[in-house]
Amino acid sequence: MGSTTIRDLALNHGAMRFDSSRLAHAGPSVFDPAAADNRAVPVQVGGRQAAWFTQGEFGAGVLRQYRRGGMIARLSRDRYCWTGAERTRSFAEFGLLRYMRERGLAVPAPLAAAYWRNGFTYRTAILVERIATVQTLAKVLEQPSHEAVARAIFAMHQAGVWHADLNAYNILLDEGGKAWLIDFDRGHRRGVSSRQRRANLLRLRRSLDKVAGPAGVAYWEELDHVYWRMAR
């Protein structure tokens, strides 16, 4: 797994992977929002009502239980087809975040990931570090953050990472104006073509248009200009 601090622990019908430098007392309770020690508070924006701010020995974290969206959620809200431990949604995202952190990208540190298998399906969850004093891009479009956001997206693409849902709520800005990218479920690091770069940016355009209309589109046009200037 590339790090002496990354450990695996067997769970009842599953397993968890965690950073032992941040979690000395690992166990399934860190994934339980009802556990009193976690002091869990629901995340109000995004997360499909399955994300919580938590506290623990690791500091402040964000717990997310994976949920399906769209029509398929009517068939199964939280179960996925089993294709192996390394291909579970949480283990894959945990590994991708580690890869990006090792390359200095502004993404949250992965703390723990887990899955629980039942036959040919599984449920899964992830715990990541909570980034302090940030707001979503959707809330601060009036700030001149085009350069910072474009650089964060460009650095992600240069590292060969593709974001499956780049939107105005998965980009955070801290008090120093630094842009952070979050929620890498279904992302991958198999390289990013020019077409995929454009698709990521257009996904963000649709999100900004939905959030803020013409003002959102105007913000995106400036960001897009900065991004492709860096790509030249």
pLDDT attached to residue 50: 87
Tell me: do 97 and 165 sit in the same domain: no
pLDDT tens figures, 86-126: 999 999 999 999 999 999 999 999 999 999 999 999 999 99
What is the residue type of 171?
I
Are 18 and 122 part of one and the same domain?
Answer: yes
**pLDDT digit string (tens) for the chain, length 232 residues:** 557 899 999 999 999 999 999 999 999 999 999 999 999 999 987 555 689 999 999 999 999 999 986 555 456 689 999 999 999 999 999 999 999 999 999 999 999 999 999 999 999 999 999 999 999 999 999 999 999 999 999 999 999 999 999 999 999 999 999 999 999 999 999 999 999 999 999 999 999 999 999 999 999 999 999 999 998 8
Domain boundary residue, one of 77, 96, 129: 129
Residue written as token pair 């695996």:
8
**Three-state DSSP class for 143?**
coil
Whether residue 78 lies in the annotated active site: no
The domain that contains 183 carries what CATH number?
1.10.510.10
Residues with Cβ within 8 Å of 81's Cβ and at least 6 positions away in sequence, in order, are: 120, 121
Residue 28 within a domain: yes
Contacts of 120 (CB under 8 A, 6+ apart): 81, 82
DSSP 8-state assignment for residue 87: G
CB 154 within 8 A of CB 200: no
Whether 36 and 70 map to the same domain: the answer is yes
**pLDDT score for 1:** 54
Closest CA to 103 of 181, 45, 43: 181
What is the rounded CA–CA span in Å between residue 1 and residue 5? 9
Asked which of 80, 107, 129 is the last residue of a domain, the reply is 129
pLDDT at 75: 64
In a domain, 175, yes or no: yes
- 79 domain residue, yes or no: yes
Q: Output the pLDDT for position 74.
A: 54
The confidence score (pLDDT) of residue 44 equals 80
Answer yes or no: do 95 and 202 share one domain.
no
The tokens for 79 are 């179960």
Which domain, by its residues, includes 212? 134-231
Q: Mark whether 77 and 22 lie in a shared domain.
A: yes
98 domain residue, yes or no = yes
Examine residue 202 and state whether it is found in any structural domain, yes or no.
yes
Q: Which of 8, 32, 78, 165 is catalytic?
A: 165
Q: How far apart are CA 180 and CA 170, in angstroms?
A: 8
> Of 81, 108, 129, which residue sits at a domain end?
129
Do both 22 and 124 map to the same domain? yes
Count how many domains the chain has. 2
